[in-house]
Amino acid sequence: MTDLFSKFDPLIEQRESLLSTGLTDPFNLVMERVESPTVAICNGRRTILLGTYNYMGMTFDPDVIAAGKQALDEYGSGTTGSRVLNGTYAGHKACEEALKTFYAMDHAMVFATGYQANLGIISTIAGKDDYIVLDIDSHASIYDGCALGNANIVPFRHNDVDALEKRLKRIPEGAGKLVVLEGVYSMLGDIAPLKEMVAVCKAAGAMVLVDEAHSMGFIGENGRGVAEAQGCIDDVDFIIGTFSKSVGTVGGFCVSNHPKFEILRLVCRPYVFTASLPPSVVATAATSIGKLMHGADKRAHLWQNSQKLHAGLKALGFTLGTDTPQSAIIAVIMPDLEKGAMMWEALLHEGLYVNLARPPATPANMTLLRCSLCAEHSAEQVDQILGMFEAAGRATGCIG
């Protein structure tokens, strides 16, 4: 008998050799208690959280919590049903209304997760003989959406407007075209030149989908994302987002002005063939989205945090994913996985949690320590964070 698991042997060996050095497993951390959006107890130690995507710190907002508790009391713990059967409650409609208001768009569709939103929308709207043109650094959920559907998939070099334009021009006359882009690319924290890209797409007659998972609530005057900040949101056909970052709970969505958008509720399998979100989740999401609209002060503070951390890490001698801070993500590039894991553990001992990101999730086989800031991080916490990076960097020899 062939063991179906033998294909995982190289990964099992890599993990074993890494952990045999006595390192803490970076992919098995348990948060024992969570005090706030920025602090948790990990391994009995009070730890500053710098790797949670909790950009706007809404997870402990009193209004959000109250809305969730009320929904639990009034509607119960779960819907036990699909959105198209018994799983649409008043709260689901209210959540979709909140999204329509937030984005000033005609339609909103809520999914169980952001992953499923990409999976569902991409696989459903691009069919056989259509073309999907996507950035090579796209998130796994975008690739999986492509794999679930039957379209022709054409990748282009990351953020390269010319490469995108050339490929669009080579698509056969009359074929349907969907271009999939992201506002912020989560591995390096860099943003896309959406204005130029969307213009190229429109000139080629392509529809455009932008995943704004890492920009919602923070980037753009109203927190609608990079497309808003660059003034091209009206030419974007579909925006995909998530509730598991700035919104502070779990769920995903797509908003659009397409006149036929509502038909997707009947034909999108990752929407139809799964249970809807629990009432408490959509209640917390709707309340949080409503508050994010008025989060200009928090947005300004988050930018200050991002700028301060970027400048501080650069001054300490770390190599960063971007020359300037472009989002709330700052990626510290590590020489290799071993060094990255050592540095990750040293930071944890200092009392700081960041994400260790490694291939295949990362571009160009990089190992990254990915930091995501929160609007609730105080300026003092950012100073503490820099002190921890300095100590851990010197202890591991990552900086001189």
Partner 1 sequence: MTDKAEIDATVKAVIEPFNKKGVAINDDTRFAQDLEWDSLTVLDFVASIEDEFDILITMNQQAEIENVGQLVDAIEKLIG
Number of residues that bind partner 1 (CB under 8 A): 18
Q: Which of 83, 78, 81, 80 is nearest to 271 (CA)?
A: 83
Per CB under 8 A, does 140 bind partner 1?
no
Locus of tokens 């713990």: 77
Lookup: tokens for 308: 């301060």
> Whose Cβ is closer to partner 1: residue 14's or residue 77's?
14
- Specify the pairing of strand 131-135 against strand 177-182: parallel
Near partner 1 in 338-367, by CB under 8 A: 360, 363-365
Other CB atoms within 10 A of residue 364 CB: 10
Residue partners of 261: CB distance under 8 A and separation at least 6: 106, 107, 109
Q: Which stretch binds partner 1 (CB under 8 A): 17-25, 62-70, 148-156, 298-306?
A: 148-156
Name the minimum Å distance from CB 152 to partner 1.
4
Comparing CB distances to partner 1, the nearer of 343 and 366 is 366
Min separation Cβ 35 and partner 1, Å? 41
- Name the nearest CA neighbour of 281 among 98, 63, 101, 92: 92
CB of 120 to partner 1, least distance (A): 20
Whether the Cβ atoms of residue 260 and residue 270 lie closer than 8 Å to each other: no
CA 105 to chain centroid: 21
Identify which of residues 131 and 261 has a Cβ nearer to partner 1 in the complex: 131
Residue 316 in the binding site for partner 1 (CB under 8 A):
no
Query: Alpha carbon of 58 to those of 30, 33, 53, 98, 288: distances in Å?
Result: 21, 17, 11, 16, 7
Q: Which one of the spans 62-70, 146-154, 217-225, 370-378 is the region binding partner 1 (CB under 8 A)?
A: 146-154
Stretch that binds partner 1, among 117-125, 155-163, 198-206, 267-275 (CB under 8 A): 155-163
- Report the C-alpha gap between 121 and 98 in whole angstroms: 20
* String of contacts with partner 1 for each residue 364-383, x by CB under 8 A: xx------------------
Footprint of partner 1 on this chain (CB under 8 A)?
Answer: 131, 136, 146, 152-157, 163, 166-167, 170-171, 360, 363-365
